[in-house]
Amino acid sequence: MFDGPEEERLRILDRAQALGAEFIDIEWDIRADPFIAARGGKGVIVSRHDFQGVPDDLSSLLRQLRATGAEVVKVAATMERVSDLRKLLEQARPDGGSVLIGMGRAGLATRVLAGRLGSRWTYAGNGIAPGQVSATRLLEEFAFRRIRSDASVYVLLGRPAADSLSPAMHNAGFAALGLNAVYVPIESRDLEDFKQVAGLLGMAGASVTIPFKRDVIPLLDEVAPTAAAAGAVNTIAIRDGKWIGMNTDADGFLEPLRQRLPDLAGARAVILGAGGAARGVGLALRLEGAHVAISARRPDAAQLVAHAIGAEVAPWPPPPGSWDLLVNATPVGSGALRSETPFAGPFDGRLVYDLIYDPAPTRLMRAATSAGCEAIGGLEMLVAQAERQFEIWTGRRPDAGLFAEAASRAMRARAV
């Protein structure tokens, strides 16, 4: 695609024509007729890019583009909402005469699920168009060549979701079992039309992440006790057409911990932070019989979470000698704060569990281990909760190490 003055674009098309290009791609707003006529429509794509959003009258737009006689019509439109994906899916035709692309991070699903959208092909590259992902990522993380148009679709619903490590893990799991299934992020501003989109995709299951873990609950037919207790759903299983909300975060958190501290009853746990993760892991620890205290920079927030899960409030930072297990449930140590630590010591407890998985190890973990404490990183939790999800959906536990290796590989690829 070349974006420039019309005369310039026509000259490039002439040149492509003279060179015998297999396909020429013509934006709808320039005079395509001579090229279409010269080729009898064959090898011509007529495209419409819409950076404002997916048009409501998509079907009439596609009709107009098809009326040009071009072999392939292409619509690439900026996507932000689940309802935008619905509009594209409703226009899917299996005849290979169109390409439907959602631009932007939210459009990743349309690139991965090209077959389901009836798209003749998809596009990959290093961000040449908004939301485009590299061919390597499409082929390796999403196993693009394995995806058949009738593949079972599992969804990650969240915002942000496009850079999640979950597709790498679940798609590796599907490939290892030889299943005709794919896992794809749907990054959205809202949940409007999610049920309808799930129906159009024949969605087989979903992961739910921030900010929808609570908001998704009204869409469910049942909520499992673990999810009800946490007040948050991170997994949707579909059984006999019923949507069942579950939560594998607590199991995912506890599994690596139990390998180091088999008996949590009576252990003194201090959790740094008072957000969603603090609440979830705090509850999991309480149910294991640990004494839990919440330490947060805002004492009122600490009080709120402590009250909700039957824990105590600890000072920020927690005083010396006050914990056996210290859990970091703040983002301090990741992203823009990656060179910082939420706790400066002393490390006089047994184990530090940092929920952050990137970087690995964090500054907090390094300080803890050099002071003789054991340390667990967030990747182990991320992997364990995903393994449990996969088991809920497929009835099979992934082979040991498969998800951890897939997640680490994807993380290394992101860092390049």
Site string for ligand NAP, 279-298 (x = CB under 6 A): -----------------xxx
Of the candidates 328, 376, 368, 330, the residue with the CA atom closest to the CA atom of residue 349: 368
> Could you confirm whether 87 is annotated as catalytic?
no
**Chain center to CA of 160:** 7
Nearer of residues 114 and 284 to ligand NAP, judged by Cβ: 284
For the bound state, the minimum distance from the C-beta of residue 208 to ligand NAP, rounded and expressed in Å, comes to 12
List strands edge to edge, sheet with 222-223.
181-187, 152-158, 205-208, 235-239, 242-246, 222-223
* Virtual torsion, Cα 71, 76, 77, 80, nearest 10 deg: 130
| Number of other residues whose CB lies within 10 A of the CB of residue 84 | 26
List strands edge to edge, sheet with 325-328.
312-313, 291-295, 268-272, 325-328, 351-354, 374-376
Nearer of residues 331 and 361 to ligand NAP, judged by Cβ: 331
Residues 224-283 that bind ligand NAP (CB under 6 A): 273-278
Q: In this structure, are strands 268-272 and 291-295 parallel, antiparallel, or unpaired?
A: parallel
Side-chain half-sphere CA neighbours of 226 within 13 A: 16
Site string for ligand NAP, 183-222 (x = CB under 6 A): ---------------------------x------------
Residues 312-351 that bind ligand NAP (CB under 6 A): 329-332, 334, 342
As a whole number of angstroms, the distance between CA 117 and CA 252 comes to: 34
What three-state secondary structure class fits 408?
Answer: helix
Residues 2-61 that bind ligand NAP (CB under 6 A): none
Is 171 among the residues that bind ligand NAP (CB under 6 A)?
A: no
Nearer of residues 107 and 378 to ligand NAP, judged by Cβ: 378
Residues 362-381 that bind ligand NAP (CB under 6 A): 378, 381
Sites of contact with ligand NAP (CB under 6 A):
210, 273-278, 296-298, 301, 329-332, 334, 342, 355-357, 378, 381-382, 385
| Active-site amino acid positions | 213
